Every structure is written in C-alpha cells, then in structure tokens.
Amino acid sequence: MRTRSPKVDRSEPLPLTSTSGSSVPAMTTALVTGANRGLGRHFAAELVARGATVYAGARRPEAIDVPGVRPIALDITDPDAVAAAAALAGDVDLLVNNAGISTGAQLLGDLEGVRAELDVNFWGTLAMVRAFAPVLAANGGGTVVNIASALSWFAAPGAGAYAVSKAANWNMSNALRLELAEQGTQVTSVHLGLADTDMVRALQGPKTDPAVVVRRTLDAVEAGDLEVVVDEWSATVKASLAEDPRTFYARYLAA
Ligand SMILES: NC(=O)c1ccc[n+]([C@@H]2O[C@H](COP(=O)([O-])OP(=O)(O)OC[C@H]3O[C@@H](n4cnc5c(N)ncnc54)[C@H](OP(=O)(O)O)[C@@H]3O)[C@@H](O)[C@H]2O)c1
C-alpha cells in the first residue's frame, strides 16, 4: 500500500527551536529524573550551580544527596507518580529525561528483560514528556533533554535490548521535536559512549567524566542545539551510518 506524503509548506522553515528565539535561560526550573546517582546526580548539581531551581526525581528520594534541590519520589514507569510529579512541578521549563537502565537483555533471550529496557528507556521517558508537555507550554515552551546513547546508532553484543530502546529514544526525540514545535519546545537528544557511572562499572575502555558529559550537554542546550554528540566514539558511530553496515561492524567487531 502506498502512503501519501503530508503536504508541507516549504516556504516556511519548520520551527525546530524555541519560538521565543532565545536560548535556555541561565536561571530556569528543571526536573531531572534518576537524580540520585550517576549522570542524573551530576545534572542536578550542575543545574543548581548554574542558578536553576531543581526538582530531583528518584525512585528513592531519600537517596538524593545534592544540596539545594527539591527531592521528589518519581519512578518514571509509574503513571500515578509521573502525573503527581507534573502536578507538583508546574513551574518546570527544562525536563531532563536521564533515568535509564541497561540490563544486558538480548533480543532472543528473556522477553521480560527486553520489555523492561523499553519500559524505562522508551515508555517511561515518553510518559514524562506527555505529562510535562502542557507544563512546558504553560512556561513558555522550554526544553526537553533526552539522554540517548551512541547505541542509538549501532548495536553491541550483549546490549541488544538496550540498543533498541536507545534507538527508539533517539527517534522519539526527532518525532517529539516536530510535535512540540508549535508550542516552542526545544527537544535535545544526547549521545555518548561510556561515562564513568555504575551503569558501565563492569566495562573496560575510556570513560568520560560524568561532569564533562553534563557540562557539554547543558552548554549545548543553552546554545539551542538539538543534538549533543558528547564524545569521539559517538561521532564515529554517527558518521558510520553513511557506510554499508558490513564495513562498520567488521571494523568494530575486530577492534
Ligand atoms: N554511563 C554510560 O556509559 C552511559 C552511556 C550512554 C547513555 N547513558 C544513559 O545515561 C543515563 C544515566 O545513566 P547513568 O550512567 O547515570 O546510569 P546509573 O548510574 O545506572 O543511573 C541510572 C539512574 O536511573 C534511575 N532509574 C532507573 N530506572 C528508573 C525508573 N524506572 N524511574 C526513575 N529512575 C530510574 C536509577 O535509579 P535507582 O538508583 O533507583 O536505580 C539511577 O538514578 C541513562 O539513560 C543511560 O542509559 C549512560
């Protein structure tokens, strides 16, 4: 069956950045998911340092140790908790969807593991955007930051479900950017290889300091960038998409 392309008025560029024309203000009100450890903890701390009011979401809010934040109980896979967070944090203009899991689930292994990865990295993240879209609109448009991965753009042995979930996360950002353009919401997708957190504790290889990931991301958000390619590995993987997959995977698997 052939589908018809929607009619697009090409005389006007799509409004892909905030229609206010300004970058994310230095003083903002942010909500960070998974703020109790890893990258999320660094996001919360750096945002406080940059003068933001910060809601720090965590499944166990008692585990949050960043001074100056407002801790909130938030499991992003719990619809009631997500709705409660949006009701409580009605002044948010920067949503940092950082919470994520990596279980090692394989696509041909236990399906529950595959679903769990998608539940957090895709469905939970989407639930947050759906709940906060009206909040962002009411606060002038604002910004959504989705923490994806270099694995949005390739698959690694032992990370099949994670790679699928992060590919979905990436293209979710592309689609949301279009759907939220009317209300002036910037959507920024963040791609990184390894950062030095619990998630990749068992893996070998160069790991970026989480503080560097966070600074690069927030600088890019303030500059109005729609995509943050944090490290060289992510840039290499992205460039490889123009190649025949055989070329990339032969090189990658031999390394
Ligand atoms: N580290 C890397 O190399 C790397 C590379 C690429 C992308 N990323 C992405 O970066 C983000 C942060 O990862 P990280 O490295 O900081 O990992 P991490 O140290 O394992 O932290 C993950 C955070 O997500 C939270 N979380 C997990 N499931 C949740 C849920 N259902 N609701 C709310 N919070 C939940 C965890 O809370 P609990 O403490 O309650 O478990 C924890 O705070 C993730 O999206 C990850 O996929 C990381």
Ligand 1 centroid distance, CA of 121 (Å):
9
Dihedral-angle region of residue 88 (phi above 0 means left; psi in -120 to 50 means alpha; beta otherwise): alpha
CA 191 – CA 208 distance, rounded (Å): 12
Q: Which residues line ligand 1 (CB under 6 A)?
A: 33-34, 36-40, 58-60, 74-77, 98-102, 120, 124, 147, 149, 192, 194-195, 197-200
Helices (H) and strands (E) in the chain, counts: 8, 7
Would 2 be classed as within a structural domain? no
Domain count of the chain? 1
Would 5 be classed as within a structural domain? no
pLDDT of residue 10: 34
pLDDT tens track for 26-63: 559 999 999 999 999 999 999 999 999 999 999 999 99
* HSE-up (13 A, CA, CB side) for residue 61: 13
Residue 150 alpha carbon, nearest atom of ligand 1: 6
Would 247 be classed as within a structural domain? yes
Ligand 1 centroid distance, CA of 232 (Å):
21
- For residue 78, what are the CA distances in angstroms to 94, 147, 153, 165, 189? 21, 19, 28, 18, 23
Residue 97 alpha carbon, nearest atom of ligand 1: 45
Would 8 be classed as within a structural domain? no
Would 69 be classed as within a structural domain? yes
pLDDT tens track for 59-85: 999 999 999 999 999 999 999 999 999
User: Sorting pLDDT into bands at 50, 70 and 90, what band is 15?
Assistant: very low
Amino acid symbol at 48: V
Instruction: Decide: residue 246, CB within 10 A, 0-12 exposed, 13-18 middle, 19+ buried.
Output: exposed
pLDDT tens track for 158-192: 999 999 999 999 999 999 999 999 999 999 999 99
Give the catalytic positions in this structure: 162, 166
- CATH number of the domain bearing residue 102: 3.40.50.720
Which residues are 64's β-sheet partners? none
Percentage of the chain lying above the pLDDT 90 cut: 89
pLDDT of residue 38: 98
pLDDT of residue 83: 98
To test the pocket of ligand 1, the residue of 32, 42, 62, 98 to mutate (highest count of ligand atoms within 8 Å of its CB) is 98
To test the pocket of ligand 1, the residue of 101, 125, 166 to mutate (highest count of ligand atoms within 8 Å of its CB) is 101
For 104, the domain range is: 29-254
